[in-house]
Structure formats: C-alpha cells, structure tokens
Chain A
C-alpha cells in the first residue's frame, strides 16, 4: 500500500470498520510513513475532542420518570412480539460462536439480506473488492481453503461475459463467508456463499439487487447493481455449473 491507497481507508481504519486483511495493510504502511501517521493523528485529535465526556448529555431524571409514567393507549401493540425472545436467545447463541441460528426465524432473514447488502457496499467503497485477484478458478478455490469452513464451488464464465475477478472473505453478521467476485462490463458482482441452511429471499435495496441461487448445494446470494435480466443470466450459469 502507498499513501494514495491508504488515505481513503484511514477513517474506516480509525472507526474499526476495515476487515483484518485491509487493517493489516494499513498498519504496515503506517509503520513506514510519517505523513499518513500524522493524518491519522489529526483524525484521532477530532475523535478525542468529541469523546470528551463533557459533550455527552445524560437524560434528566424527570424524563425517565415521565416515560415510565406514560400510559400507552394500546397496550397489546406494545407487547413483545413472539419471536423477540427467540431472536434474543439466538443472538446469544450466535455471539457464543454458534453458526446455524440465522435461519430460524424470518426477522433474522431480513437481517441476513441487510448484512449482505452492507458488505457489498463496503467492499465497493474499499480500494479493492477482492483479497485474491485471479481469473483462474484453480487459484481462487485453494485460497479459500483453510480460511472458511467450507470452500465454495468456483467457476469462471468469461466466455459468457461474466469474468471471474477474484475472491474475498467477508462477514454476514458474525460469520465469515467466502465471496466470489465477478465482473460484467462495469458491474462488480459479489456472490456470497452462505452457510448451509441459510434461508434468504430475493430483494432490492437502493438500486442494488439480491438474488439467491443454489451453488453446488450451498445457498448463495448474488448482489450487484445489474438489472434483473443480467442477474438471471449469471444465476443460470452458476446453477448450471
């Protein structure tokens, strides 16, 4: 990494929003570059000024009491939804290292879609959406081995206009998942290979589209800004392999 590639990542680094591989590269550059260290220092000055306790207001006691004393007009709406306790239990199991819970209930499933979109956007915002660059599936597949529980099926569809661009490891919730990255014209397409048993349905968010596909027995999510027809084409190719 050099200054040009490091500077745009400094804030995400400071905010602890970089994945470990990018964070390590930023750190390696910081070790050798005083200018970038100074830039980070200036960002940290802003942080320290704002994190000064004097800037954080606490609720006046009167407000707490006022809320506690407010009788709500329609109590049945305010009752905890039935899945809430299930979700809370799942969140605990998940935090403890469980991997299979995501799929027990539908709210979680919206969260999975949300996570997948967020990871895609974050990757687009980073300097490079890939950790390993290669159009050769024989390079990409072994790269995943040892990094994720299950290495995905890796195929290249350059002949059909969807060239394999590389791969990366990303997060969906707290789970590390392999992501295959394809290019189609100007579009960067992420294929998130999800843990077996993940249920997810197609959705769109701010012009981006998520479609599901079965990839050699594993559920996967295709995410990009391609239109429905182009997405369907890639979906067929992935399914057919």
Chain B
C-alpha cells in the first residue's frame, strides 16, 4: 500500500475522479488542462484535509476541483491577451464518441457556448446528478442562485435547440 491509497483523500479523489474530470473538461475544454487541474486539486485537498469540517465530502472535493479549474481559466485568460486568436476548445473526442452524430456534437457545442456560471450549474445537475444543496456547496452560492442559474441555463439551451435568437436579458 502506498502512502496515498491509505488516506481518505486518496479514496475520495479516486471515487469521484470521473466527476472531477468531467467538471474539469467542461470548464477547461481539453484533456491536458482538465487532468492537471484535477491533480492540482488532489494535492490541494490533501493539504487542506484537516480543515474539512464534515458535510458532503463529494461536494467539498468538487468545490476544490472547481477552484483549481477557475485558477487555470484565469491564467489562460491572461495568456490569451498576448495571442491574436483565442484557442477554441476542441470537441473532437465528443464528436468521435458520438460517431458523427451531428445532434450530439451540436448539443455539446451549445453547452460549451454557455457562460461558465450556467454551464457549470447544468453540468453538475444534469450530468453529475447533484442536488441543489450539493451544487450550492460546490459553487459556494445560495440555493436560490443555483435555481436561477439552472433556470436561465436551461432557457438558453432551449433557445439554442430551437435556433431562436439569444435574448439579451
């Protein structure tokens, strides 16, 4: 047994690794950055383990993953100021798994096009199946905010699905 596997942080990270990576992919858009962010989160979680005060461990872990992703995003934003063209995140492997299913690729693109606060709420609710309270814990916002972000995010996707022009509310 390594020093890692007999710690509860290691167990927690391994147990919810897919959820962490999925969130990272939807926030950062590519495998390398998502993997690095999850790895950073693991090291950070281990350092902060003694501050964990109970409650939902999955939500606590995903909150740390999210913070690491947002830190990467901020870094990327600074870097893109130096470049002429922003790198569009690739959806190549979603497309590949969908086996040329245009519709799926389109949904992926539409979800990716949402502003990050709506995208992350929808990913946690619909793809990871978290409750409102768990999402509130991950995002560190009140439940009412979770509800309104989900609602707006869904409305934006509905409009995107039907091809209606985006309302600027």
Contacts and interface: CB of A to CB of B under 8 A. Distances in A.
Contacts of B90: none
B17 A12 contact: no
Contacts of B143: 118, 121-122, 125
Q: Is the interface of B mostly helix, strand, loop or mixed?
A: helix
B19 to A, nearest CB: 9
Interface string A118-138: 100110110000000000000
Given A67-B17, A68-B10, A121-B142, A50 B35 contact: no
Interface string B28-42: 000100110011001
A11 interface: yes
Contact of B4 (A46, A55, A70, A77): A70
A57 to B, nearest CB: 4
Given A50-B111, A69-B4, A107 B22 contact: no
A59 B34 CA distance: 9
Given A51-B127, A78-B49, A81-B52, A67 B4 contact: yes
Interface residues of A, number: 54
Interface residues of B, number: 58
Q: Is the interface of A mostly helix, strand, loop or mixed?
A: helix
A63 B104 contact: no
A160 interface: no
A78 B42 contact: no
A125 B49 contact: no
Contacts of A125: 143-144, 147
Interface in A72-127: 72-75, 77-81, 83-84, 87, 105-108, 110-111, 114, 118, 121-122, 124-125
B157 A118 contact: no
Contacts of A63: 17, 21, 35, 38-39
Nearest to A78: B7
A149 to B, nearest CB: 24
Interface in A1-37: 11-12, 15, 17
A71 B136 CA distance: 31
B3 A72 contact: yes
Given A80-B8, A121-B144, 11 more contacts: A46-B154, A50-B126, A50-B127, A59-B20, A64-B17, A67-B13, A68-B2, A72-B4, A78-B46, A81-B52, A107-B54
